[in-house]
Structure 1
Amino acid sequence: MPALSDLPVVGAALTSTTLALHRNWILERQRDLEIQDFFEAETLDGDWRARVELIRKLLDGYEGRLGIHGPFWGFKIDSQDPLIRAVVTKRLLQGLEVCEALGATQMVIHSPYSTWDYNNLDINPGARTRVIERVHATLGDVVKRAEGFGCELVIENIEDKDPMDRVQLANSFASPAVRVSLDTGHANYAHGSTGAPPADFYVDAAGDALAHVHLQDTDGYADRHWLPGEGNIGWPAVFRALGRLSSRPRLIIEVKDQTNIRAGAAHLEALGLVV
């Protein structure tokens, strides 16, 4: 078993409310932190700066790696409609404005790939290329803005059945501001319900392009966002794959039961995988 000093430090996805509950736990090891207050349109169109100030006060003394979950409700980043793409661009730029005000250096966005795409893109000549072109049309200004202040966009698997699709999409930007995220529960849903490979295969597929991981457990049927240990993900295999990387992705427990998040961390600690 690795020495404690060699184990990765696990962090969490929290709102401003649950951050207040877990503040000491986050600060004691300067754990990776993802703030989840800023993905809803009502927040972005409201007084989000007041929320930023509240969070900044809670994070007094924090020197760890800070990110946010970017907006995603109601859209995809590969829309065929240029008017919709303009709205998506606006929302993601709003997310980056929050990042800059908060001092966050990473923003999670959602992959455009679906199960339908897995079965149908290749029957339409040029369809894969057109998906990438539409994403570039949506994200062009967003990537430039992120590059300008040292922020990463990390593309999270949602329905992705082929773990390489969003890796190739991220690589197509040839930018340090576009990298890959893995959600273990989404991968396990795809594995159990659509025949995708298990979650550790997604780690290996991304390799050192992997900069962010949502750690959540599922039963392989639905997107449960259970605490690690409540589902059937093979955590030792996932962490063996993570151990083969040199990229040090941010490790973020992202669950519905944020008040009890340390129980999920304790499960991974008991397996000898994290501290």
Structure 2
Amino acid sequence: MLKVISTHVFLRNRLHPGLLESLQKSGAQGVELFAARQHFDYSDRHAVRDLGNWFRSNPLEAFSMHAPLFPDYEMGRAGAPAVNVLHPDKARRIDAMDEIKRALEVAEQIPFRYLILHLGEREDRWSPRTLEFSLTALEHLRAFANPLGVKLLVENLQGDVTRPENILEILNTGHFEDIGVCLDTGHAHLGEGFTATFEALKPRIRSSHIHDNHGQKDEHLWPGDGTLNWDDVYTGLKAAPQSPAGVLEIHYAFEDTPETIAQKAAKAFEKF
């Protein structure tokens, strides 16, 4: 597996080259940029250009980007609505797709392979309507992403819409052969279980989010700090036909410094 780490681990900090250098020291081969304006402001062309210059001068790859979850600088805490391409209100769906397209434009300065996309929120239910909205969103965003050299990956979440069988129905109904799946290990552990989720989605997996929990809430812990069976996870992912990347997506912690994060990431990468 390609060794990748998400900048989510630095979510409380503004992303800058020094933080990228610390991740590079961990042995990471790539990073996933977490598109949150207070952390990585994808709408700030000067900031994007500065990071693009750093990537062009260093071996660390900008492997993927996580699509924005909120359009503001406070992750919705001040009342901004979530970026939800399945919202019942058409205007909200259009706003969500426009926000994601702003993030996709980063690929002009920082080329990356994949955009990781959430379909809906936890309370959204599976229905003919959410299937229709999913097809429309993926078709629209795919048309925008492909000329930029970016492929879309749908992430399995805790909500009903992205249960494995529903993800497959969306992709098969839309004949989206070029859209894959980012298998989230922590979300799988909270749902059908890793093995069942992996087996269902195996042919479509192109990347993975690696994190742990205790089976009760989405904690985004380092591998081994929860109750996931990591032998099963690594054996499964290595057997996936598309050789997915392993992307450490870890919750930020106040006590962690860039140096300790690099050390923990290096230890986790040893298992890859």
Give the TM bin, normalised by the shorter chain.
Answer: 0.7 to 0.9
Task: Work out which structure has the larger RCO, using CA pairs closer than 8 Å and 6 or more positions apart in sequence.
Answer: 2
Q: Secondary structure at the match of 2:164?
A: coil
Letter in 2 for 1:70: A
Is the Cα contact below 8 Å between 1:217 and 1:228 reproduced in 2? yes
Greater helix share, 1 or 2? 1
2:3 alignment partner in structure 1:
10
Is it true that 1:201 corresponds to 2:196 in the alignment? yes
Residues of 1 paired with 2:90 and 2:58: CA distance?
43
Any idea what the Cα deviations from partners look like across 1:78-128, whole Å, max 9, x if unmatched? 1221111110110111121112321112111113274763xxx4xxxxx2x
One-letter amino acid matched to 1:186: H
In structure 2, the partner of 1:253 is 248
Structure 2 CA distance for partners of 1:70 and 1:267, relative to 1, 3 Å: closer
- Which residue of the partner structure matches residue 168 of structure 1? 169
Matched, 1:159 2:158: yes
Tell me the SS of whatever aligns to 1:159: coil
- Is 2:112 the partner of 1:111? no
Partner of 2:222: 227
Which of 72, 84, 99 is residue 91 of structure 1 equivalent to?
A: 99
The number of equivalent residue pairs is: 244
Cα deviations across residues 65-90 of structure 1 (Å, max 9, x unaligned)?
62111112213221221111110110
Deviations 1:120-157 (A, max 9, x none): x4xxxxx2x32121122333321111122321111112
Q: Which whole-Å CA distance do the structure 1 matches of 2:66 and 2:124 have between them?
A: 25
1:40 matched to 2:37? The reply is yes
Local SS of the residue matching 2:212:
coil
| 1:22-74 alpha-carbon deviations (Å, 9 max, x no partner) | 224456xxx132012x2338965842x22222322332232646211111221
Equivalence for 2:267: 266
Q: Which amino acid aligns with 1:32?
A: G
Aligned to 1:22, what secondary structure does the other structure show? helix
The residue that corresponds to 2:58 in the other structure is 61
* Structure 2 counterparts to residues 207-222 of structure 1, below 5 A: 207-222=202-217
* Counterpart Cα distance in 2 of 1:246 and 1:9: 14
**Structure 1: gaps (5+ residues):** 1-7, 122-126, 191-195
SS of the residue corresponding to residue 68 of structure 1 reads: strand
- Amino-acid identity (%): 19
State the distance in 1 between where 2:231 and 2:140 align: 39
Equivalent in the alignment of 1:78 = 86
**Distance across 2 between alignment mates of 1:177 and 1:147:** 10
Distance 1:153 1:75 in 2: 16
The runs of 5 or more residues in structure 2 that have no matched partner are 71-81
SS of the aligned residue for 2:246 comes to: strand
TM-score, scaled to structure 2: 0.79
| Stretch deviating more after TM superposition (217-226 or 236-245) | 236-245
**CA contact 1:88–1:138 (8 Å) conserved in 2:** no
Residue 171 (structure 1) shift: 3.2
Measure, in 2, the Cα distance between the counterparts of 1:88 and 1:9.
30
RMSD value, Cα: 2.6
1:239 paired to 2:234: yes
Deviation digits for residues 178-227 of structure 1 (CA, Å, limit 9, x no counterpart):
21112111222x2xxxxx32123222111121111110111111111111
The match for 1:51 is 47
- State whether residues 155 and 181 of structure 1, in contact with CA within 8 Å, keep that contact through their aligned partners in structure 2: yes
Aligned to 1:3: none
Change (3 A) 1:138 1:267: closer
Letter in 1 for 2:215: G
